[in-house]
């Protein structure tokens, strides 16, 4: 267990070393938030609330989603792709480290650094706009935390699962574009799912993407009725189980492919 902690710490530190990069990411992160704030302000200039969501809630939504996207941001697909392409993966089969959790720890390290990067733009926005809502109440706050943790795990498993297909497809680039399209549409990143037309909302509901970050934020803002909160958590757990099993199956298949082809 301690080993994984070290991996995470290492990933964090490697990010820290490139300080100029940090400054630039801080800048672009702030600008990105600024853009979204401006857009929503323009929208709300003519109305007070849309679908019973007001400006403050919307701005809080934006900051939270930006934050969480840092935690769920994943280059696992590409990393796996590289490992497979260079043959490094053969080593991973033999080592006593579980590849899945190693990559997860690596991602967490990167993510935590990402939080640090996200804190400053968020702080800047708060200073400028003075609007960030706390969770509706303690209960919602806690459920938010739980849903968030589950969402991060789910996001990771989804990425890992898709990453495994590199064993067959060789180039993760294709997968990343398709995944990107679905994420853009169904994760609630740019536009909250509350504002979606019913047909698209229905599609989004049967897909796992909303459970990664959107649902957690929805709970935080109190937009999910209390009775539904447990359903959401259950949904997350179910999807996690689904992907966990799927990963196992695909991984086993992949091992066969590798041993047959010789890497």
User: Contact with another protein (CB under 8 A): which of 6, 13, 38, 205?
Assistant: 38
Please tell me whether residue 31 binds another protein under the rule CB under 8 A. Answer: yes
What b/e readout covers 25-41, taking b as 16+ CB neighbours within 10 angstroms? bbeebbeebeebbeebe
Residue 134 or 173 with smaller CB distance to another protein: 173
Please tell me whether residue 205 binds another protein under the rule CB under 8 A. Answer: no
Q: Give the footprint of another protein on residues 215-234 (CB under 8 A).
A: none
In the complex, the smallest distance separating the C-beta of residue 186 from another protein, rounded to whole angstroms, is 9
In the complex, the smallest distance separating the C-beta of residue 29 from another protein, rounded to whole angstroms, is 8
Nearest to 71 by CA among 116, 26, 31: 116
Please tell me whether residue 185 binds another protein under the rule CB under 8 A. Answer: yes
Residue 7 or 37 with smaller CB distance to another protein: 37
> Which of the ranges 57-65, 97-105, 167-175, 254-262 carries the binding residues for another protein, by CB under 8 A?
167-175
- Tell me the C-alpha distance between 261 and 87, whole Å: 12
- Tell me the C-alpha distance between 22 and 30, whole Å: 12
For tokens 């937009």, the residue is 223
CA angle at 229 for the pair 225 and 231, rounded to the nearest 5°: 115
User: Who contacts 174 (Cβ-Cβ below 8 Å, separation ≥6)?
Assistant: none
196 contacts 113 by C-beta, under 8 angstroms: no
Residues that bind another protein (CB under 8 A): 18, 20-21, 24-25, 27-28, 31-32, 34-35, 38-39, 42-43, 50, 171, 173-174, 176-178, 180-182, 184-185, 190-191, 195-197, 200
């Amino acid at each position: 267990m301690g080993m994984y902690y070290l991996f995470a710490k290492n990933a964090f530190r490697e990010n820290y070393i490139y300080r100029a990069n940090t400054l630039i990411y801080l800048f672009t992160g702030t600008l990105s938030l600024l853009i979204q704030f401006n857009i929503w302000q323009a929208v709300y200039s003519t109305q007070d609330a849309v679908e019973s969501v007001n400006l403050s809630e919307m701005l809080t939504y934006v900051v939270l989603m930006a934050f969480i996207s840092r935690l769920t941001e994943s280059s696992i697909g590409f990393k796996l792709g590289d490992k497979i392409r260079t043959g490094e993966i053969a080593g991973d089969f033999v080592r006593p480290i579980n590849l899945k959790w190693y990559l997860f720890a690596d991602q967490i390290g990167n993510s935590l650094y990402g939080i640090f990067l996200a804190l400053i733009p968020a702080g800047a926005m708060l200073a400028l706009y003075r609007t960030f809502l706390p969770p509706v109440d303690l209960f919602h706050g806690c459920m938010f935390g739980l849903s968030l943790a589950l969402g991060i795990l789910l996001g990771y498993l989804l990425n890992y699962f898709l990453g495994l297909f590199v064993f067959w497809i060789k180039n993760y680039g294709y997968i990343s574009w398709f995944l990107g399209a679905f994420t853009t549409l169904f994760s609630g990143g740019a536009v909250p799912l509350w504002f979606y037309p019913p047909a698209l909302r229905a599609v989004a509901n049967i897909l796992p993407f909303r459970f990664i970050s959107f649902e957690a934020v929805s709970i935080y803002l109190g937009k999910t009725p209390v009775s539904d909160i447990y359903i959401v958590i259950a949904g997350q757990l179910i999807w996690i189980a689904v992907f966990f099993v799927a990963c196992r199956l695909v991984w086993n298949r992949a091992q066969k492919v590798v041993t047959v082809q010789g890497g």
